[in-house]
Structure 1
Amino acid sequence: MQLTDALAIAAPAARAAAAPRLVLGMATTQQDVRAVQRLRYRLFVEDMGLSALMRADGLDSDEFDDHCDHLIVRDADTMEVVGTYRLLSPTGARRIGRVYSEGEFDMSRLNGLRGRMVEAGRACIDPDYRGGSVLMLLWAGLVDYVQRQNCDYFAGCASIGLADGGHNAVAVYDKLRATHLAPAEFRVTPHLPFPYQKLTPAAVPQIPPLLKGYLRSGAWICGDPAWDPDFDSADLFVLLPLANLDARYARHYGVGAMPIAA
């Protein structure tokens, strides 16, 4: 079953909300990957003003791109890429020898999950398309991909910006560790911890939309945040067992239409 066919069955609500302007698929050519890398560069580097990461080629790329699959949403009228997710399957992780998140966290407690875990990262959506439909399509495609890989988990880093000096990141972490902390056997340890103990939390935590979506679907945060100085963010490692997927979201994403391996 092709991804678009699966979504026609598994995510009619997402398709109805998005139609007819949006098309979901996978990058199949180097040109597609370059379009993804240009979008990521514009949003992660140019729009955030990260001069240290500026590159003459205008691409956000690294050694993981060649080992990943790239989920993309296009505007059906212009065929421009307006949303993307980078997905590292267990096979891709074995080829490169690690997952991206290991650059930020000691993940040794999760060694037993590696063959059943897809790592999702580099999620971004063009600001003109952030009404919800693109994110819904990306999520439906992500869950479909995890199932087709015969995996039980997806994982990745969720970033919280530090433009306010880190006060919101502290407030978000204080809130989530009380409600969404993973069981001890799924905890990770940051290589470069974000010093949340030294900062005053913001009065009202503002949880980023992507992280909020993970949590609503049943994800855990797996320990203290790491500090990513390149992207000026506090990063939480997030793990979602598909068995935890909230029933409402499971209906949207098609979980239950096919069995999930134990």
Structure 2
Amino acid sequence: MQTSIVQAHVRATSAKLVLSMASTPEELHEVQRLRYKVFIETMGLSSLAREDGLDSDEFDEHCDHLIVRDSDTLLVVGTYRLLSATRARKIGRVYSENEFDLGRLNNLRGRMVEAGRACIHPDYRGGSVIMLLWSGLAEYMRRERCDYLVGCASISLADGGHNAVAVYQSLAARHMAPMEYRVTPHLPFPIDKVAPALKPQIPPLVKGYLRSGAWICGDPAWDPDFESADLFLMLPLANLDTRYARHYGVDGEAAAA
């Protein structure tokens, strides 16, 4: 895998965390072990259990992997998988196309970075890790000269899907993308057949994207393997709120330009 390095490591001194890009097979395995712990073990998805304890797929070798490491223990405590437009062109698709028809976005493919597999160790979910990952993501977008961040965000179906329906209904009216950016799920989650929860519990990742100016690009897809309803999100950098742009290290005026 081609080595890609963030221009400068970003250190959160209070938490003793360091941001970098995975550059060796061993570091990729650390990422995959963390993902397995969070996505498979913590969620109790026994149907996806593997003897090697790694969460991996055919996209991993084509992607860049942001990692946050505890500098005291050297443990990888956070990761984000990034697929550049150049790499996506070489393999002919992005991961989200497993779940959605992205035909309406064909004219944007050369300007999109797909982010996915966002993952934080349960003991490090105080906010510092995701801040570092977003800082690295902003730097990656600048380096790749891409204007759109896209990807799937999952909502657990552990409660039978009631929260997923409530989240979608509460957000769709305010955050739905313009029609020209809409996508279609291959396997739609039956939002009309499940009663919504009384109070939606919006996943932190979804909340962070939407606060930063992201759009929901259509109805949720049903992922039976991971027992989730998945939203396809798009964040045009031109939408990035100035407050969050400063927070994550993006120049808002430059992004808009």
Question: TM-score scaled to structure 1, two decimals?
Answer: 0.93
CA distance, structure 1, for counterparts of residue 132 and residue 199 of structure 2: 30
Aligned AA for 2:110? G
* 1:131 equivalenced with 2:126 (yes/no): yes
Q: Following the alignment from structure 1 to structure 2, what is the Cα–Cα distance between the partners of residues 259 and 136? A: 20
How far residue 257 of structure 1 moved from its aligned partner, in angstroms, is: 7.9
| Structure 2 partner of 1:42 | 37
SS in 1 for 2:136: helix
Q: Does 1:238 align with 2:233?
A: yes
> Are 1:229 and 2:224 matched, yes or no?
yes
* Match in the other structure for 1:10: none
Give the corresponding residue for 2:214: 219
The answer as to whether partners of 1:151 and 1:261 remain within 8 angstroms in 2 is: no
Taking every aligned residue pair, what percent have the same amino acid on both sides? 72
Instruction: Decide whether the 8 Å contact of 1:27 with 1:71 is kept in 2.
Output: yes
Aligned to 1:149: 144
Offset at residue 19 of structure 1 (A): 3.4
CA contact (8 A) 1:4 1:24 kept: no
8 Å contact kept, 2:81–2:117: yes
Could you tell me which amino acid in structure 1 is paired with residue 51 of structure 2?
A
How far apart in 1 are the matches of 2:152 and 2:48? 19
- Go from structure 1 to structure 2 and tell me whether the alpha carbon gap of 1:50 and 1:219 turns closer, same or farther (over 3 Å shift): same
1:254 deviates by 2.4
Amino acid at match of 1:96: I
Question: Which residue of the partner structure matches residue 47 of structure 2?
Answer: 52
Figure out how many residues of one structure are paired with residues of the other and give that number: 253
**Deviation at residue 52 of structure 1 after TM alignment:** 1.3
Give the drift of 1:48.
1.1
Task: For 1:147 and 1:258, locate their aligned partners in 2 and report how far apart those are by CA, in whole Å.
Answer: 13
Tell me if structure 2 keeps the 8 A contact 1:74–1:83.
yes
Q: Which has the higher contact order (CA 8 A, sep 6+)?
A: 1
Over 3 Å counting, the alpha-carbon distance change for 1:200 and 1:21 in structure 2 is same
Structure-1 separation of matches of 2:214 and 2:145: 19
Extract structure 1 runs of 4+ deviating beyond 3 A: 257-262
Tell me how large the CA RMSD over aligned residues is: 1.6
* Structure 1 range deviating more: 92-101 or 212-221: 92-101
- Please, which runs of 5 or more residues in structure 1 have no aligned partner? 8-14
Match of residue 62 from structure 1: 57
Please show how residues 153-168 of structure 1 align to structure 2 within 5 Å: 153-168=148-163
Q: Name the residue aligned to 1:99.
A: 94
Question: Quick check: 2:241–2:252 contact (8 Å CA) kept in 1?
Answer: no
* 1:29-78, Cα deviation, whole Å (9 max, x unpaired): 00000000000011111111111111111110010000000000000101
Query: What is the distance in 2 between the residues matched to 1:178 and 1:20?
Result: 38
Match of 2:22 among 13, 19, 27: 27
Query: Residues of 2 paired with 1:114 and 1:19: CA distance?
Result: 39
Q: Which residue of 2 aligns with 1:254?
A: 249
User: 1:4 Cα shift?
Assistant: 5.4
Deviation at 1:3, TM superposition (A): 2.7
Where does residue 85 of structure 1 map in the other structure?
Answer: 80
